[in-house]
């Protein structure tokens, strides 16, 4: 490597390759179909709501709060690794070259999120405010500038304070940026600029504190590991991530569920599989997340065909992934010591998956009870899950 820029370039290419490897499994098949229908249904619902929105709706406050919060969350992507705590010490004085590249990528990889949220809110602004097109896009430019400052600000705070009480820093930046955006949406650009300058002064305070401070390798390495682990856990919902280990939690508040399985020898595998499902984060949150999405769609989307397609697709996703997750176990388990037939575990998984999907159907049904012919969604979830469970390979 000639310099630290080359180090960044090398790691960045490896990082992009790693992300692309798993993205191809995430945005394909049923997820793509679900996203298309979600975007379409969401856009239709939004446009219908805009036709009837009250002129006194506090759009400026709502947009300022949401965008301000999004701006405040600007976690830096450093791509630092654990060995860097030793091997990069000799070039610590030149690490600014590396971090400059890292912050540039952090900005461009995050700015599109807040940009899309604001662009989506533009029809609302035109419906309830007197802002001109020029003023609306001037606020957009301000948001882009604030995002740049926010990325620099969070990095400086983490560098100088080693990430301690980061929520306080984010809260302060969210308030400052939210007020600046609100002033801009009120067509008070001068006040918005003044508030922005105050935010810049706040950021500069921590930027100056960084000078002379050693690079907090441990903090940035831990931050990077947590960020990648979050991505791997998300990717694990769609495909197997070999080096990912599921987190096991006690969840004592769900112990009462185990009483529904009678204490009998033939229920041994059923009890163990059910306990695995409840206590393993990857399994439990996979089912919970897809159930919540189905319930929200069923509750708020009043287009029956869209609701049926979405809950059917998510039922398929829940069933096949939960079944594969509970059956996949290459490690030693205590139940292997007991004289139980191999097919018993497969039957237990089948029963637990069926129980989970019936529960999902009930939750979705309760949430959609105000919608027309809501019971069809319940039937679709149960039928799709049963067919998927029977047809899918173990």
Q: Give the burial class of 265: count Cβ atoms within 10 A of its Cβ; 0-12 exposed, 13-18 middle, 19 or more buried.
A: exposed
Do residues 191 and 241 lie in contact, with contact meaning Cβ atoms separated by under 8 Å?
no
Backbone φ and ψ for 248, nearest 5 degrees, come out as: -105, 130
pLDDT string in tens for the chain (394-residue length): 458 888 899 999 999 998 888 887 777 655 666 677 778 777 888 888 898 888 889 999 999 999 999 999 999 999 999 888 888 888 888 898 899 999 999 999 999 999 999 999 999 999 998 899 999 999 999 999 999 999 999 999 999 998 889 999 999 999 999 999 999 999 888 999 999 999 999 999 999 998 888 999 999 999 999 898 888 877 776 666 766 666 777 778 788 888 888 887 777 788 888 888 888 877 888 888 889 888 888 888 777 887 888 888 888 888 888 888 788 755 656 666 666 676 788 888 888 999 999 999 999 999 888 887 888 888 999 999 989 888 876 6
- Reported as type and span, the H/E element at residue 199 is helix 189-210
Structure tokens belonging to residue 275: 């306990």
Whats the size of the chain, residue-wise? 394
Cross-strand bridge partners of residue 248: 280
pLDDT for position 296: 86
Closest by CA position to 206, among listed 265, 256, 165, 177: 165
d(C-alpha 155, C-alpha 328), whole Å: 40
- Write down the pTM of the prediction: 0.75
Closest by CA position to 366, among listed 378, 381, 356: 378
Give the DSSP letter of residue 266.
G
Which CA distances in Å does 114 have to 111, 141, 332, 365? 6, 12, 46, 34
Neighbouring residues of 331: CB distance < 8 A, sequence distance ≥ 6: none
Backbone φ/ψ region at 164: left (φ over 0), alpha (ψ -120 to 50), beta: beta
Q: C-alpha angle with apex 285: 282 to 288, nearest 5 degrees?
A: 150
d(C-alpha 82, C-alpha 80), whole Å: 7
Backbone φ and ψ for 280, nearest 5 degrees, come out as: -90, 120
pLDDT for position 331: 60
pLDDT for position 339: 63
d(C-alpha 283, C-alpha 281), whole Å: 6
pLDDT for position 202: 94
Q: Summarize pLDDT for 112-159 with one digit per residue, the tens.
A: 999 999 999 999 999 998 899 999 999 999 999 999 999 999 999 999
pLDDT for position 29: 57
């Amino acid at each position: 490597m000639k310099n630290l820029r080359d180090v960044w370039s090398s790691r960045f290419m490896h990082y992009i390759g790693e992300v692309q490897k798993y993205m191809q499994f995430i945005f394909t098949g049923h997820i793509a179909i679900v996203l298309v229908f979600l975007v379409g249904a969401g856009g239709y619902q939004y446009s219908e709501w805009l036709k009837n929105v009250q002129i006194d709706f506090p759009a400026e406050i709502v947009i300022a709060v949401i965008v301000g919060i999004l701006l405040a969350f600007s976690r830096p992507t450093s791509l630092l690794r654990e060995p860097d705590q030793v091997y990069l010490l000799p070039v610590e004085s030149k690490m600014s070259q590396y971090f400059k590249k890292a912050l540039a990528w952090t900005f461009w990889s995050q700015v599109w999120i807040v940009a899309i949220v604001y662009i989506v809110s533009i029809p609302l602004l035109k419906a309830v405010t007197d802002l001109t097109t020029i003023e609306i896009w001037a606020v957009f430019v301000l948001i882009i500038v604030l995002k740049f400052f926010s990325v620099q600000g969070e990095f400086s705070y983490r560098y100088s304070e080693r990430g301690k009480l980061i929520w306080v820093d984010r809260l302060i930046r969210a308030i400052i940026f939210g007020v600046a955006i609100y002033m801009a949406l009120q067509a008070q650009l001068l006040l918005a600029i003044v508030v922005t300058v105050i935010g810049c002064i706040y950021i500069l305070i921590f930027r100056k504190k960084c000078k002379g401070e050693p690079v907090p390798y441990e903090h940035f390495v831990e931050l990077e590991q947590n960020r990648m682990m979050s991505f791997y856990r998300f990717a694990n919902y769609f495909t197997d991530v070999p080096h990912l280990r599921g987190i096991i939690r006690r969840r004592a508040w769900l112990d009462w569920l185990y009483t529904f399985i009678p204490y009998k020898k033939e229920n041994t595998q059923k009890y163990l599989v059910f306990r695995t499902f409840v206590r393993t984060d990857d399994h439990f949150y996979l089912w919970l997340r897809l159930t919540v999405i189905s319930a929200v769609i069923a509750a708020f989307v009043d287009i029956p065909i869209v609701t049926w397609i979405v809950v059917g697709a998510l039922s398929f996703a829940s069933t096949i992934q939960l079944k594969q997750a509970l059956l996949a176990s290459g490690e030693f388990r205590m139940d292997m010591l007991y004289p139980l037939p191999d097919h018993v575990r497969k039957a237990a998984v089948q029963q637990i998956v069926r129980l989970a999907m019936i529960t999902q159907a009930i939750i979705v049904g309760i949430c959609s009870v105000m919608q027309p012919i809501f019971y069809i969604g319940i039937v679709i979830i149960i039928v799709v899950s049963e067919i998927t469970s029977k047809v899918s390979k173990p």
